[in-house]
Amino acid sequence: MRMKIPITGTVIQVEPCILGEPSDPIRPILPLGEIDWVLIHLDLENELMEIEVTPGKSSATGLPTQADKQAVLNYAKSRSLEMKTKEELHALSLFPRLNNPFKVDPPIP
């Protein structure tokens, strides 16, 4: 399942590749639960990341059932832009918005 979520952290480089501050890496703004995820796209302009998520492979109770897997995905989905606005997710988080000194503000008309 793909989802978009806000990011936090500090950007220290954008060219030739994007780097985050080691002590404040670029990351999802909220914990997503027991999932595995792969980054699909990092959108610094809109402070979002698009990720592909799957249920985590380990479970404290042994092999997860299909219901367990769906519950884990539903929890992650509840913390995505599919279920909440970016502002609502920032309000839930204890982290600040992305610190990106390279972001160029649009010109004022």
Where exactly are the structural domains of the chain? 2-92
Please say whether the beta carbons of 96 and 21 come within 8 A.
no
- Kindly report, residue by residue over 69-106, the tens digit of the pLDDT: 899 899 999 988 888 888 898 888 888 899 999 887 66
Helix (H) or strand (E) holding 24: none
- Rounded Cα gap, residues 106 and 48, in angstroms: 18
Residue closest to 53 by CA, chosen among 27, 25, 68, 75: 75
Query: By C-alpha distance, which of 30, 42, 20, 46 is closest to 90?
Result: 30
Q: Please report which confidence band the pLDDT of residue 58 belongs to, taking 50, 70 and 90 as the band edges.
A: low
Per-residue pLDDT at 21: 95
Q: What is the pTM of this model?
A: 0.80
For residues 5 and 30, is the Cβ–Cβ distance under 8 A? yes
